[in-house]
């Protein structure tokens, strides 16, 4: 029962085969058993979850429920939740209980979901392995010696290990897609601005995007129906009509034009990963799609440009954590400067401090043009590459990650090696377009993800392609034995 999708459980709930309270209790029991091993949750909100489940049961009994009513889910600990701890994976916010809900949380709650708790994450969403959390690393349910990917690793591990039905994540450089790939689930990064950032603790404001992590493309579409839409409280939210993201799921793929970036399918890509992708492409061709090569000539500059833009924005956003306004404060400050420096020095972890310093340097007098302005120019070149490619193809397909989940500690010693983990995902964030990862095969008992990328506002089309693929393959139904 706990491995079923939201769409399947929704039917069971509406047919009264089980109640949301029973379902919620079953998930809480599984979390109690497995979370000590996996560390996927930072906070479990059992009492609140059972109260929400009872309310959902009332709505279902009255016939006023929707497709997500009574479905137990989790929120990444970057989303503010009224009355429940929101740490962002940092010592800095170790005691922060928000007085309000993020818009995403509020909208999903209006859809009747049950929040089981808050999932672990890389500190302030900075990381590709979920090893930078103040609350310890999350373990991959497929192999607990391996990372789940980051920064939404807690959400991805929780969905994969059936510790919730679905979860929210955020993606600044690949943080939904890469953990989805490593954990064998479906993750969608929507178009920048389609899902509100209000109440989502900011990392890099021009890149951060909230999205769903789920067991199927169909569930991701149901989540997007609840999450997406203009929010006047978020000045970067786009005024774009909200469509029914499930509307195209059943469409045929006949005539679909798929582009394969020549920069992704090179000799550098693991041949076994390449073979898995070729097999997936054959499935899509069998459903009527055609394939051609596309050129993304500036793709190799996406990691350097990102590691200027994201740290620069982070250095500004994280200046609010000063030891005074909320969160961690050092003991016995000597003076104001000592209060700032020690609170920030002790409250932030190494990776966060590194990025704040890179950002401070890139924005400092004398270096702004050479770094920040240059990166913003390269950002335009990367966006133009995608615009050119989408004149000839409807979606771009490639690997999500260069390989399967790696071992804990394997890449910690060199930040640059870790940064290159997101080589296939970062360009999508710089261009602001949607991308998703879905399970496409297994290698040595570990999942491999396939990335689909589309032009701005093409989420429904991406979900359509993913759903049709999932109707004809069973990679997304595979579950780890934990």
Partner 1 sequence: MALDNSDVEKIAHLARLEINQSDIDEVTGRISNILAMIDQMQDVDTNAVSPMAHPFDATQRLRPDLVTESNQRDELQKIAPATQDGLFLVPKVIE
How many angstroms separate the CA atoms of 14 and 20, rounded?
Answer: 10
Is 197 one of the binding residues for partner 1 (CB under 8 A)?
Answer: no
Is 346 one of the binding residues for partner 1 (CB under 8 A)?
Answer: yes
Judged by CB under 8 A, the stretch of 24-32, 42-50, 125-133, 409-417 that binds partner 1 is: 409-417
Kindly tell me which residue out of 358, 393, 397, 466 binds partner 1, with binding defined by CB under 8 A. 358
What is the smallest separation between the CB atom of 426 and partner 1, expressed in angstroms?
A: 13
The count of chain residues that interact with partner 1, using the rule CB under 8 A, is: 69
Is 270 one of the binding residues for partner 1 (CB under 8 A)?
Answer: no
Tell which residue, 117, 114, 161, 118, has the closest CA to residue 20.
Answer: 114
What is the smallest separation between the CB atom of 230 and partner 1, expressed in angstroms?
A: 9
Kindly tell me which residue out of 139, 189, 197, 379 binds partner 1, with binding defined by CB under 8 A. 379
Is 370 one of the binding residues for partner 1 (CB under 8 A)?
Answer: yes
Judged by CB under 8 A, the stretch of 252-260, 283-291, 353-361, 459-467 that binds partner 1 is: 353-361
Is 411 one of the binding residues for partner 1 (CB under 8 A)?
Answer: no
Is 242 one of the binding residues for partner 1 (CB under 8 A)?
Answer: no
Catalytic pick among 175, 315, 343, 401: 175
What is the smallest separation between the CB atom of 330 and partner 1, expressed in angstroms?
A: 9
Is 97 one of the binding residues for partner 1 (CB under 8 A)?
Answer: yes
Q: Which is nearer to partner 1, 100 or 283 (CB)?
A: 100
Q: Which is nearer to partner 1, 57 or 131 (CB)?
A: 131
How many angstroms separate the CA atoms of 179 and 150, rounded?
Answer: 6
Is 298 one of the binding residues for partner 1 (CB under 8 A)?
Answer: yes
Is 373 one of the binding residues for partner 1 (CB under 8 A)?
Answer: yes
Catalytic pick among 10, 76, 90, 237: 76
Q: How many alpha carbons lie under 13 Å from residue 405 in its C-beta half-sphere?
A: 33
Catalytic pick among 10, 128, 151, 401: 151
| Known active-site residue 76 | yes
Is 412 one of the binding residues for partner 1 (CB under 8 A)?
Answer: no
| Known active-site residue 290 | no
Is 303 one of the binding residues for partner 1 (CB under 8 A)?
Answer: yes
| Cβ count within 10 A of residue 77 | 30
| Known active-site residue 373 | no
Is 409 one of the binding residues for partner 1 (CB under 8 A)?
Answer: no
Is 172 one of the binding residues for partner 1 (CB under 8 A)?
Answer: no
Binding site for partner 1 (CB under 8 A): 96-99, 192-193, 206, 232, 235-236, 238-239, 298, 300-301, 303-305, 307-308, 315, 319, 322, 324, 326, 329, 333, 335-342, 344-346, 348, 353-354, 356-358, 360-362, 364, 370-371, 373-381, 383, 414-416, 419, 430-433, 456
Catalytic residues: 76, 151, 175
């Amino acid at each position: 029962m706990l491995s079923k999708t939201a769409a399947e459980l929704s039917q069971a709930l509406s047919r009264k085969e089980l109640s949301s309270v029973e379902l919620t209790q079953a998930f809480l029991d599984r979390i109690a058993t497995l979370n000590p091993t996996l560390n996927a949750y930072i906070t479990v909100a059992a009492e609140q979850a059972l109260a929400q489940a009872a309310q959902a049961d009332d709505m279902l009994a009255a016939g006023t429920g929707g497709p997500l009513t009574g479905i137990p889910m989790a929120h990444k600990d970057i989303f503010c939740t009224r009355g429940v701890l929101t740490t962002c994976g940092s010592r800095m916010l170790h005691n922060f209980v928000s007085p309000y809900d993020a818009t995403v949380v509020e909208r999903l709650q209006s859809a009747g979901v049950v929040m089981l708790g808050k999932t672990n994450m890389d500190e302030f969403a900075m990381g590709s392995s979920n090893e930078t959390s103040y609350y310890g690393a999350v373990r991959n349910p497929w192999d607990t010696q391996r990372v789940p990917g980051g920064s939404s690793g807690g959400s991805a591990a929780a969905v994969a290990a059936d510790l919730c039905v679905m979860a929210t994540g955020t993606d600044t450089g690949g943080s939904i897609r890469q953990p989805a790939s490593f954990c064998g689930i479906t993750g969608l990064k929507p178009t920048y601005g389609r899902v509100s950032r209000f109440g989502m603790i900011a990392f890099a404001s021009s890149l951060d995007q909230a999205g769903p992590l789920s067991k199927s493309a169909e569930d991701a579409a149901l989540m997007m129906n609840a999450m997406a839409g203009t929010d006047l409280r978020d000045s970067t939210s786009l005024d774009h009509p909200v469509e029914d993201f499930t509307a195209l799921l059943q469409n045929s793929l006949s005539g679909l034009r798929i582009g394969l970036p020549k920069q992704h399918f090179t000799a550098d890509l693991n041949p076994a990963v390449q073979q898995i992708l070729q097999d997936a492409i054959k499935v899509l061709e069998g459903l009527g799609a055609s394939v051609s090569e596309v050129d993304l000539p500036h793709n190799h500059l996406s990691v350097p440009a990102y590691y200027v833009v994201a740290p620069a924005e982070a250095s500004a956003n994280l200046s609010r954590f000063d030891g005074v306004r909320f969160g961690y404060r050092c003991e016995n400050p000597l003076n104001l400067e000592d209060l700032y420096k020690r609170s920030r020095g002790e409250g932030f972890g190494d990776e966060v401090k590194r990025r704040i310093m890179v950002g401070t340097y890139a924005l400092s007098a004398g270096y702004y043009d050479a770094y920040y302005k240059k990166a913003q120019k390269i950002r335009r070149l990367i966006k133009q590459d995608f615009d050119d490619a989408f004149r000839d193809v409807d979606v771009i397909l490639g690997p999500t990650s260069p390989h399967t989940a790696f071992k804990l500690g394997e890449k910690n010693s060199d930040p640059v090696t870790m940064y290159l983990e997101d080589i296939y995902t970062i360009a999508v964030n710089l261009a602001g377009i949607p991308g998703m990862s879905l399970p496409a095969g297994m290698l040595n008992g570990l999942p491999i993800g396939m990335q689909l990328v589309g032009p701005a506002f093409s989420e429904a089309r991406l979900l359509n392609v993913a759903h049709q693929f999932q109707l004809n393959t069973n990679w997304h139904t595979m579950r780890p034995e934990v």
